[in-house]
Structure 1
Amino acid sequence: GWDRSSFALALSIFAVVSGVVPPFAGRLADRYGPRLVLTAGALLNAVGMILMAFTPNLWYAYIVYGVVIGLGFGVAGQSVNAALLSRWFARRRGMALSVASTGLGAGQLVLVPLATLIIVTVSWRAAFAITGLAALTIVPLCLVLLRRPPPMEEEQAASDAPAPSTPGCLPAELIRMQTRAAFRSRSFWLLAGGFMGCGFSIYLLMTHMAALATDRGISAGQAGTALGLVGGMGVVSGVLMGSLSDRIGRKHLLVALYLMRAVAVLVLMAADSAAALYLFAVLFGISRANGALVAAAVIDFHGRQAVGSILGYVTTGHQLFAALGAWVGGLAFDRTGSYTLALAPCVALMLGAAFASALLDERRPSVAVRLQPSAVGD
């Protein structure tokens, strides 16, 4: 019995909470290593999913989904993963970050149809419970398999910051220096500005795509297939774009992906058949490779020492606009019976993101000194 704006508000709360956390989680990962940070995020996500199975009312959903799962997503998000991968993969970081980010698309490809099947055959509560229990298995894997990334003595020696007092830890002053320098740079604001538009579009489209499709006479099954197609194309695009960006740079690929998403939204605005919806899903799925390229570009411009903190702030902008996108979509439909008033600014934001990316100075991926894995545990 919830209207679409009320449901979208839960996703907006999730987006805000998951956007506030990354700078702090990223800073912890920069300084102490990502293992415990990622483990805490995985645990929060799993517990939140299980608690959602017992939802009695809308306010409970706001707290559990919005706050608990939002915290988990923010803690175990892209900024912490980038802090981990940037040290292990100095030469092919675009490829590494893209492959890691395809986990979201692969999960969508597999879990969305599975969750839909559980909802149809059992209940939505069972779907949350089973998903949460499955996610709980990730927690011990984080503790057992993750090791501290290799040290960055070369970059440490080149900086003016003091040596770390604890082996394997970066000094807090170094992280603050790097973060402040990023805030003063043109590249940071161009990347962050484009990524804000990305956040608005992704949450608007992912939250309301299925409802928009069924409103136009497309079956729920076909809408579910389109969601899976978005995830599948995201996996393929992520691998290809990441590898390509290591060869030619990130700038022109970001421009192309943002323009492709603008076209995808225009296709969705006119979609009145399953074929048109599938075309949208293909274009939208391919365009979602931009996230890993933004992360790689942040490292290209600002180095690896404070990437968790810097990318955390970029992610904050993305998630705050994501909250706005999810809520605006529901509000537009509840007030007008159409999503047009929400989709039109989405196109404008994607064009703006492409323009911002075009203004970037081309920074070819740096070829850093090869770092050997450390045997030191976290």
Structure 2
Amino acid sequence: MSADSLPKGSAGSLSARGARWNAAGVLFFCFVIGMTGRGLFDSFVVMLRPLDLSHSWSRDELTAIYAIAMTCWGLGAPLAGIIFDRAGARPVYLLGIACSAGGLMLASTDWGLWSFYLGHGVAVGTATALLGTVVQAALVSRWFDRSRSTALGLVHSSMGIGVLLFSPITQLLIDSFGWQGAYRGLTLIGLAVIVPIALFAPWGRFRAGHPEIAAAAAAPREGPRRPNYRSLREALGGWPFWALSWIYGITGMGIYVAITQLVDYFQVLGVPALEAASIYGVAGALAPVGMVAFGVIADRLGMLRAATLSYGLTLVSYAGFLALPEMFSEFVLYGSAVCLGLTLGSRGPMVSSIVSRTFQGPAFGRIYGAILAFGGAGGGLGAWLGGFIHDAAGGHAALFYVGAVVLVAAGSPFVFLSRAAAR
């Protein structure tokens, strides 16, 4: 991101240099916390196979852990918004790391399936919402106006970096200490990274925002085509809320019905465990590139073109994964992972940009949290549905077919949202 995309100084008390440092601080601290939270969350994708081999549970019982986590991630998003609107980022982040650490430690006890449902499911899922997108979008939108989609793409890319770093780390911990030791090691990593930032970063200053952007957000917007949503109830009465909720929810379903079992699928095809986890990590590594790139495309070429390209590349990746059993090759394997990685989470910055411009105001956190709740519900349903389909169909192929159909339906509201934004 160029220096020109950072906010300029205002005539008020904040200098241009101070504004730039604050904006950079928001990006950095939100990125690190989001990266760690998402990495801990998605460690389950690597944990799935060792858990399967060491227990007699069915596949849909195992994937229900991730489904619960996704659902609680969605349900936790409104909670993150409410706490942020009332008290700021620090209590949200401290509660988030407490939930994550407690949940990972509970899962490590192996007291039964319930300990995974409550630990990695409820606790870690809720923690991911508290450590992630709602606070990121709320803070970034207070410091960036021009090139907002690009800034949101950059900070949202923390999710992909989290997958990149934590997938091989999780596998290495499993190889060295077993899956229970891996859970404990991940707990220590999360505490060491997040607690100091949550305690000592200047969250009050970050929450205040750039004076010019804060003044613009507080001013009522004119014209019947740009309603000024001041509460969650008002937002629920407008079609943009439901269109954005559809995109988050149905896209989550189409993605997680397939990728929750992607590492396991690679190993079934004969890929070694560490390489399989690393390939998933490669996809995560490319997610930041895709998020930023699609944010730039949306800013320069329009939301609809960016969304169409994003969904198209995801469908190409699914087609490649489907072809692997019949024509396995490293090129198809890694090429499909590249296409998937470039689009993982790429819709998020686009939706966040629309949300921040449509609903910016005193209830932004609650409104955005409610929209994200649909994403969590869709992702959770997709993860559980993937386990059910795997057992019913006796393999992985059906997951990609179902996911492709769902994704085609998921992107349709972008047509109407892009037209509304152009008015």
Determine the structure 2 residue equivalent to 1:34. Answer: 89
- Following the alignment from structure 1 to structure 2, what is the Cα–Cα distance between the partners of residues 280 and 211? 16
Aligned partners of 1:361, 1:305: CA distance in 2, in Å? 25
* Structure 1 equivalent of residue 137 of structure 2: 82
Would the alpha carbon gap of residues 49 and 132 (structure 1) be closer, same or farther in structure 2, given more than 3 Å must change?
same
Q: Which moved more, 1:191-200 or 1:297-306?
A: 297-306
Correspondence for 1:158 among 201, 217, 220: 220
Distance 2:181 2:297 in 1: 41
State the alpha-carbon separation in 2 of the partners of residues 109 and 76 from structure 1. 18
Shift in Å at residue 264 of structure 1? 1.7
2:273 to 208, 220, 224: 220
Shift of 1:215: 2.2
- In the alignment, is the contact (CA less than 8 A) between 1:255 and 1:353 conserved in 2? no
| 1:241 Cα offset (Å) | 2.2
Provide the residue aligned with 2:38 in structure 1: none
Aligned-partner SS, 1:158: coil
* Cα RMSD after superposing both structures: 2.4
Give the secondary-structure state (helix, strand or coil) at the position aligned to 1:198. helix
Secondary structure of 2:377 counterpart = helix
Shift of 1:363: 6.0
Query: Is the Cα–Cα contact under 8 Å of residues 10 and 66 in structure 1 kept in the other structure?
Result: yes
2:245 and 2:371 in contact (8 A); partners too: yes
Q: Which residue does 1:343 correspond to in 2?
A: 400
| Residue 415 of structure 2 corresponds to residue 358 of structure 1 | yes
In 2, distance between residues paired with 1:191 and 1:303?
15
Q: Which residue of 2 aligns with 1:97?
A: 152
Q: 1:102, CA displacement in angstroms?
A: 1.5
How far is the alpha carbon of 1:304 from its aligned partner? 4.6
Distance 2:229 2:420 in 1: 23
Q: Which moved more, 1:1-10 or 1:239-248?
A: 239-248
1:238 partner amino acid: M
Give 2:263's aligned residue: 210
Match of 1:236? 289
Query: Structure 1 residue 26: deviation in Å?
Result: 0.9
- Structure 1: gaps spanning 5 or more residues: 161-174, 367-378
For residue 315 of structure 1, what is the aligned residue in structure 2?
372
TM-score calculated relative to the size of structure 1: 0.85
Identity %: 27
Tell me the amino acid that sits aligned with residue 191 of structure 2.
Answer: L
Name 2:324's counterpart in structure 1.
271
Deviation at 1:39, TM superposition (A): 2.2
Show the counterpart of 1:142.
Answer: 198
User: More relative contact order in 1 or in 2 (CA 8 Å, sep 6+)?
Assistant: 1
| 2:343 counterpart residue number | 287
How much does 1:46 deviate? 2.5
Aligned residues: 352
C-alpha contact 1:109 1:227 (8 A) present in aligned 2: yes
Map Cα deviations across residues 105-150 of structure 1 (whole Å, 9 max, x no partner): 1121112112111211221112111111111121221121142222
The one-letter code matched in structure 2 to 1:228 is G
Which amino acid in the other structure matches residue 328 of structure 1? L
Deviation at 1:185, TM superposition (A): 2.6
Can you give the 5+ residue segments of structure 2 that lack an aligned partner in the other structure?
A: 1-54, 223-227
The equivalent position to 2:67 in structure 1, one of 1, 6, 12, is: 12
Alignment pair present for 1:303 and 2:327: no
CA distance in 2, matches of 1:231, 1:318: 19
